[in-house]
Amino acid sequence: MYFGKARKKGPLDRVPPNQNVTTSFPVLHYGNVPYYKTLDDWDLKIFGLVEKEVILRYKDLMALPQTTSGNDIHCVTGWSKLDNVWEGISTQELARLTYPKESAKYVILHAEENWTTNLPIEDFLKETSLLAHSHNGEELTPEHGYPLRAVIPHLYFWKSAKWVRGIEFSSENRPGFWEENGYHMYGNPWKEQRMTWD
């Protein structure tokens, strides 16, 4: 008897369980979209368990080495979007400026309106993680996180904070906004870690 057929390698192997591929780019968040008239007052603070706190203005950020990264993103509500190209600054590049301490085990990303999300430091510093200012060759739109968003493609997309203003290195895994509301502390899409109990 023949049980099943050889699974063809193809785009489907790129899609985690119970996700549907979309070619659109849905907008999803809690709270208000910030519409910046100017970036004169904008900054990014890197703080917490670091040897050196750093505050970067937008022009400082753009003067750092830039990186381009292609990936697929997976939202916990069930959509996945393949073949995104992001441009920005790698998280390793940002960490290098501040020297995180040995005691730093987690990263809390702080966005506008005090929205936060948490992840282990290894995931933040993974070579595929970045802080992006552009998507598919265009500057981010306000709805998608202008001027700067995190992109942590190997975790559900809620970890990819839009409108990032702070990167905090912490010894504690403090739940962020969605994590406080029942979402998983880690959020691996391949293991379907959607809610706390998954």
Q: Do 73 and 84 form a contact (C-beta atoms < 8 A)?
A: yes
- CB nearer to Mo ion: give 146 or 158: 158
- Any contact of residue 26 with ligand MTE (CB under 6 A)? yes
90 forms beta bridges with: 130
Q: Do 74 and 192 form a contact (C-beta atoms < 8 A)?
A: no
d(CA 51, CA 49): 7
- Any contact of residue 75 with Mo ion (CB under 5 A)? yes
- Any contact of residue 63 with ligand MTE (CB under 6 A)? no
- CB nearer to ligand MTE: give 141 or 171: 141
- Any contact of residue 192 with Mo ion (CB under 5 A)? no
- CB nearer to ligand MTE: give 145 or 166: 145
Largest CA distance in the chain: 70
Residue 197: CB minimum distance to Mo ion, A: 18
Helix (H) or strand (E) holding 59: helix 58-63
- CB nearer to ligand MTE: give 28 or 63: 28
* Count of residues in contact with ligand MTE, rule CB under 6 A: 17
Of 146, 123, 120, 118, nearest to 61 by C-alpha is: 146
| Subset of 156-175 contacting ligand MTE (CB under 6 A) | 157-158, 160-163
| Subset of 101-120 contacting ligand MTE (CB under 6 A) | 111, 115
Q: What does the CA dihedral 146, 147, 152, 157 come to, rounded to 10 degrees?
A: -20
Interaction site with ligand MTE (CB under 6 A): 25-30, 75, 111, 115, 144-145, 157-158, 160-163
